Amino acid sequence: MTETKLKIALQKSGRLSEDSHNLLKKCGIGFGSGTGKLRSEAQNFPLEIYFLRDDDIPEYVADGVADIGIVGENVLAESRKNVEIVEKLGFGKCRLSLAVPKNFQFGSVKDLAAKRIATSYPNILRDFFQKNEISAEIHTISGSVEIAPSIGLADAVCDLVSSGSTLFTNGLREVETVLNSEAVLIARPNLDETARKILEKLLFRIKSVKAAAQNKYILLNAPNDKLDEITRFLPGIKSPTVMPLAETGWSSVHSVINENDFWEIVENLKNAGAEGILVLSIDQMIQ
């Protein structure tokens, strides 16, 4: 009997490709990289991988060619395909923003009324302008949107922004965020029970990898007379692990801390008397 496999669409190359591939590999799923081919099968998980252009992923999932896919929210919103967002993945973060030439007198988005705006995301931009009751002329172009004002094609642009360096290089400044975006896991409507169960197993692994990425494992040596003060800074998952060292009067303390609080906690630990502080990355964290 043929084993049922969940079919996933990944970006073959581009902004989300490497992180998408790495996510599955951190989930313990081995597969070929997709170099020179459009399809691969996982070696140790019921998963079949399709390597596609990012713009094609929502359509493949909506049409049922693939069961799930990883795609940017910007691409999904522009496609307007009927799919379910199953999980936000935390990578590929960017924003779709309006940008104007540096000498453009901009006070609010109302100043773009009757202006020409170049973009590769006409559907998203049209919705944004309708919501803000602005009538503007949208020019749809693919690629090199940021040069449109300098060649006289548009008065402003709506384009993806990460650092903003490309806009700056082309004499533009970001003035308004239209959409915040990150990579998301999407699923086709009406997944059958077998596919849904495989998806739940995959989601369990993905959430464990995400939790691990947001935390660090910390080990330190602490004098016993400072333990109470030191452990106050270490909530851990439940509470810190404390074990006596061979040297009398000292203990080893193990815990997990959130990456956002990392430096503040380490400084507090050092000031409280902790020594030999060792910090390790976590591959997976099961909660």
pTM for the model stands at 0.86
Q: Which domains does the chain have, with CATH numbers?
A: 6-91+182-212 (3.40.190.10), 94-181 (3.40.190.10), 214-281 (3.30.70.120)
Residue 64 has pLDDT above 90, yes or no: yes
Strands 6-11 and 47-52: parallel
Mean pLDDT of 128-135: 96
**Residue-level pLDDT at 32:** 80
Distance separating alpha carbons of residues 74 and 182, to the nearest angstrom: 8
Name the CA dihedral angle for 150, 153, 159, 165, rounded to a multiple of 10 degrees: -10
pLDDT, average across residues 139-159: 92
- Per-residue pLDDT at 123: 97
What are 100's two structure tokens?
Answer: 């104007």
Is the distance from CB of 86 to CB of 185 less than 8 angstroms?
yes
